[in-house]
Structure 1
Amino acid sequence: MRILHAALPHDWERAAADGSYDVSTRGTSIVEADFVHASTAEQLPGVLQRFYADVPAVDVLVLDVDRLEHEGASVLWETPHDVTDGPYPHVYGVVPVQAVVEVVRVEHEPGEPWTLPDVEALRPQAT
């Protein structure tokens, strides 16, 4: 199975060089939040609109759940108290770059709605 994580490009560039990704969500580390926020393809547009409307680009990290678990992270499906489109996948543990099977750069004009490409990687897949 694959899940998605929206990353600021500079955060992903640093992680790709370091070998692991430790940002929970925009401006928050895994140390502060205890997990890395993720989503399904269906949940991604709402995530981008709620948290990234003012940025010109995000890198959508496509995460392979089996690889995450093989590397020692666990994925739990949880519904935050203020969300109606849950549950969301939460990754407990840093994300090793080996678990990122694809990175899709998505750009838009800040303040405008996001338009996601019809990319195979963004569709749910079983492994």
Structure 2
Amino acid sequence: MAILHLASLSDWLDALVSGEYRVSTKGATLEDVGFIHASHPSQLAGVAAFLYADMEEPLCVLVMDEERIAAGGVRVVEENGGGGELYPHIYGPIRPEFVVDVIPAHLDDRGSFTMSGPLG
């Protein structure tokens, strides 16, 4: 199953150099929160509008394979993200080998979320 994480492109490029991505969500790290926030495909646009509407730098969607994450010794737990909706939380850093695709994304002037490619 695909697990998605919306990231700033600069944070992802930094992770490719360091070997680990440690941003939980906009303005908070894995160390601050204890896990990295992630989404299922149906949740991503809502997360983008809620958290990243004012983001001016380029964004990207990290598409991860849950089996690769588990094989890397990192737990993914479905937890209440508010209102009873379950979101995947990644309890450890995201390593580049977990990521199967990186899709450029942005929010337009009206706040509509778009990706520059399909999931898959």
Using the size of structure 2 for normalisation, the TM-score is 0.91
In structure 2, distance between residues paired with 1:120 and 1:26:
22
Instruction: Kindly report which structure 2 residues correspond to 1:82-97, keeping only aligned pairs within 5 A, or say none.
Output: 83-84=82-83, 86-97=85-96
RMSD over aligned Cα atoms? 1.6
- 1:45 corresponds in structure 2 to 45
State the identity %: 35
In structure 2, the residue matched to 1:68 is 69
Provide Cα deviations, 1:16-42, integer angstroms capped at 9, x if missing partner: 111111111111110010000000010
| CA drift at 1:113 | 1.8
Stretches of structure 1 lacking an aligned partner (at least 5 in a row): 122-127
Match of 2:12 in 1: 12
Tell me how far apart the structure 2 counterparts of residues 41 and 85 of structure 1 sit (CA, whole Å). Answer: 17
- Secondary structure of the residue that 1:120 maps to in structure 2? coil
Q: What residue identity is the alignment partner of 1:45? A: A
Contact 1:73-1:91 within 8 A present in 2 as well: yes
> Conserved in 2, the CA contact under 8 Å of 1:53 and 1:111?
no
Give the Cα–Cα distance (whole angstroms) in 1 for the partners of residues 117 and 7 of structure 2.
19
TM-score by length of 1: 0.86
- 1:100 matched residue in structure 2: 99
Task: Give 1:22's aligned residue.
Answer: 22
Query: Which AA in structure 2 matches 1:60?
Result: V
Q: Is the 8 A contact 2:80 2:86 kept in 1?
A: yes
- Is 1:60–1:104's contact at 8 Å kept on the other side of the alignment? yes
Aligned residue for 1:109? Answer: 108
Deviation at 1:118, TM superposition (A): 5.9
Q: Check conservation: 2:36, 2:91, Cα contact below 8 A.
A: yes
